[in-house]
Amino acid sequence: YDREGRILRTDYGDWTLLNCYFPSGTTGDVRQDFKMQFLDWFFDFITELKKTRPKLIIVGDYNIAHEEIDIHNPKGNKDSSGFLPEERAWMTKWFESGFTDAFRYKNPDKVEYSWWSFRAGARGNNKGWRIDYQSVTDNLRDKITHVRQLTDVVHSDHCPVMMEIDL
């Protein structure tokens, strides 16, 4: 996965920041299989890393909308890469393994997205997906002070996502 430059790791004192770009599976079965292999590898990689670096912040484009609240049309997208049952199950496993979804922790019921297709005016109609995440190990959860998505900032098909944490 290093050949695709998907992970940037920086250690700061006793905590580690990983900025990640998870594969997309939207171009077909080969890339979807690659994505699922990456997810398995990444889970194992982070499980090992947590043994020596237990305070982790993992941010980036996960290319998965976890819950129905995270996608504008869950029924219509149930068979779409990025909202497949196996991808969503991986996210559930991820958050049950000692990680907190910082946005949902601070905004449990907020319907807000971080990505919109360039097609059919999706952004203007707010037909988006929340696929960009800030995950923190549970031992950092209570240090999160603010999380928001800068939906009014338009520079790509994603909007910036922001987390403030008191470390």
Q: Which residue do the tokens 């031992």 mark? A: 139
3-state class (DSSP) for residue 52: helix
Q: Return the H-helix or E-strand segment holding 7.
A: strand 7-12
Of 3, 75, 74, the closest CA to residue 38 belongs to 3
CA 159 to chain centre: 13
Euclidean distance between CA atoms 67 and 41, whole angstroms: 22
Q: Is 67 exposed, middle or buried (0-12, 13-18, 19+ CB in 10 A)?
A: middle
In the chain the domains, ranked by start, together with CATH numbers, are 2-165 (3.60.10.10)
Summarize pLDDT for 30-45 with one digit per residue, the tens: 999 999 999 999 999 9
CB 124 within 8 A of CB 114: no
Structure tokens at 134: 């800030």
Could you confirm whether 61 is annotated as catalytic? yes
Summarize pLDDT for 118-164 with one digit per residue, the tens: 988 999 999 999 999 999 999 999 999 999 999 999 999 999 999 99
- For residue 1, the model assigns a pLDDT of 61
Euclidean distance between CA atoms 37 and 90, whole angstroms: 11
Largest CA distance in the chain: 47
Summarize pLDDT for 41-75 with one digit per residue, the tens: 999 999 999 999 999 999 999 999 999 999 999 99
State the catalytic residue, choosing from 11, 14, 29, 61: 61
